[in-house]
Amino acid sequence: MAKGKPFAMRSDRLFDLIQILRDGRLHRAADLAARLEVSTRTIWRDMATLQASGLPVEGERGVGYMLTAPITLPPVALTLQEMEALRLGIALVASAADPGLSYAAHTLGQKIAAVSPAAGALPPVDTFVFASPEAARAAPHLPILRTAINGCEKLDMTYRDLAGRESRRRIRPLQLEYWGRVWTLTAWCENRRDFRAFRIDLVQALSGTGLNFIAEPGKTLADYRAKMAAPPAVQ
Residue among 97, 76, 216 at smallest CA distance from 154 = 216
So what's the pLDDT on residue 234?
57
Q: What is the pLDDT of residues 67-110, one digit of tens each?
A: 887 765 555 566 666 766 777 677 767 665 567 777 777 777 77
- At residue 58, the 3 state secondary structure works out as strand
So what's the pLDDT on residue 84?
64
Both 95 and 62 in a single domain? Answer: no
d(CA 51, CA 70): 14
Q: What is the pLDDT of residues 144-182, one digit of tens each?
A: 998 899 899 999 999 999 889 999 999 999 998 877 678
d(CA 6, CA 192): 39
Both 108 and 37 in a single domain? Answer: no
So what's the pLDDT on residue 76?
57
Both 88 and 151 in a single domain? Answer: no
Both 102 and 170 in a single domain? Answer: no
Res. 135 pLDDT band, cuts 50 70 90: confident
User: Is the pLDDT score of 188 beyond 80?
Assistant: yes
Full domain range(s) for residue 116: 80-121
Domain at 182, CATH number: 2.30.30.520
Both 141 and 197 in a single domain? Answer: yes
Residue 194 pairs in a beta bridge with 189
Assigned domain for 73 exists: no
User: Is the pLDDT score of 128 beyond 50?
Assistant: no
Res. 124 pLDDT band, cuts 50 70 90: very low
Burial class of residue 8, CB neighbours in 10 A (0-12, 13-18, 19+): exposed
- Rounded average pLDDT over 185-191: 95
Which residues does 36 contact at the CB level (< 8 Å), separation at least 6? 13, 16, 17, 43
User: Is the pLDDT score of 30 beyond 60?
Assistant: yes
Residue at which a domain ends, from 28, 45, 67: 67
Phi, psi of 219 (to 5 degrees): -125, 15
So what's the pLDDT on residue 113?
67
Q: How many domains does the chain have?
A: 3
User: Is the pLDDT score of 218 beyond 90?
Assistant: yes
User: Is the pLDDT score of 186 beyond 90?
Assistant: yes
So what's the pLDDT on residue 126?
42
| Length of the chain measured in residues | 235
Assigned domain for 128 exists: no
Both 14 and 96 in a single domain? Answer: no
Residue at which a domain ends, from 89, 121, 153: 121
d(CA 93, CA 103): 9
Please tell me the pTM assigned to this model.
0.52
Averaged pLDDT of the chain: 79
Amino acid code (one letter) for 78: L
Q: What are the Cα distances from residue 86, in Å, to 17, 36, 126, 205? A: 26, 29, 12, 33
CB 199 within 8 A of CB 184: yes
Assigned domain for 235 exists: no
Residue 6's CB is within 10 A of a number of other CB atoms, namely 9
- Rounded average pLDDT over 104-132: 58
Residue 197 pairs in a beta bridge with 186
Residue at which a domain ends, from 121, 150, 185: 121
Phi, psi of 48 (to 5 degrees): -60, -40
- Rounded average pLDDT over 172-201: 90
